């Protein structure tokens, strides 16, 4: 794949994410994909990835994804890192906690490994503790 092709795939992925389209997002993954996430832990297979997106969209609405940067690495296989800032409202249950109506903002990195123009591996990196603080699950003192 070329850098331009990978960037186009990532942009279409973000477009589906902004629309809350779990089935559309699932179409970006291989059948045997593996996803690691602070929130969903290890997820394997396209159907399980689709379910994780559905659960995310039940819990968080009004999602805005700002793409801060896309880094492409073609030297070590077809890979990309998507650096984002995500704004959303906590509407539904997450971690056994009902929706709070609180707004959250999370900066994160999604690292993709591609096979046959689809995502085969994905690692999500973000400050899970900050998410819990914003939801009111944890208390933090200012420095």
Look at residues 58, 83, 57 and name the one whose alpha carbon lies nearest to residue 68: 83
Q: What is the pLDDT of residues 32-69, one digit of tens each?
A: 999 999 888 899 999 999 999 999 999 998 999 999 99
Q: What is the pLDDT of residues 63-122, one digit of tens each?
A: 999 999 999 999 989 999 999 999 999 999 988 889 999 999 999 999 999 999 999 999
Helix or strand run (H / E) with residue 124: strand 118-126
Name the fold adopted by 3-135.
Nuclear Transport Factor 2; Chain: A, (3.10.450)
Backbone angles phi, psi at 116, to 5 degrees: 55, 40
User: Is 80 exceeded by the pLDDT of residue 140?
Assistant: no
Residue-level pLDDT at 76: 87
Query: What is the rounded CA–CA span in Å between residue 40 and residue 10?
Result: 21
Q: How far is CA 127 from the centre of its chain?
A: 13
């Amino acid at each position: 794949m070329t850098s331009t092709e990978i960037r186009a795939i990532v942009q279409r992925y973000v477009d589906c994410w902004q629309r809350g389209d779990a089935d559309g997002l699932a179409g970006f993954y291989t059948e045997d994909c593996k996803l690691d996430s602070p929130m969903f832990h290890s997820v394997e297979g396209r159907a399980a990835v689709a379910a994780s997106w559905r659960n995310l969209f039940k819990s968080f609405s009004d999602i805005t994804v700002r793409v801060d940067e896309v880094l492409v690495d073609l030297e070590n296989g077809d890979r990309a890192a998507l650096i984002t800032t995500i704004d959303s409202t906590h509407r539904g249950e997450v971690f056994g906690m009902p929706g709070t109506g609180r707004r959250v903002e999370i900066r994160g990195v999604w690292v993709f490994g591609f096979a046959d123009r689809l995502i085969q591996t994905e690692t999500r990196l973000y400050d899970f503790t900050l998410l819990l603080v914003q939801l009111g699950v944890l208390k933090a003192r200012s420095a």
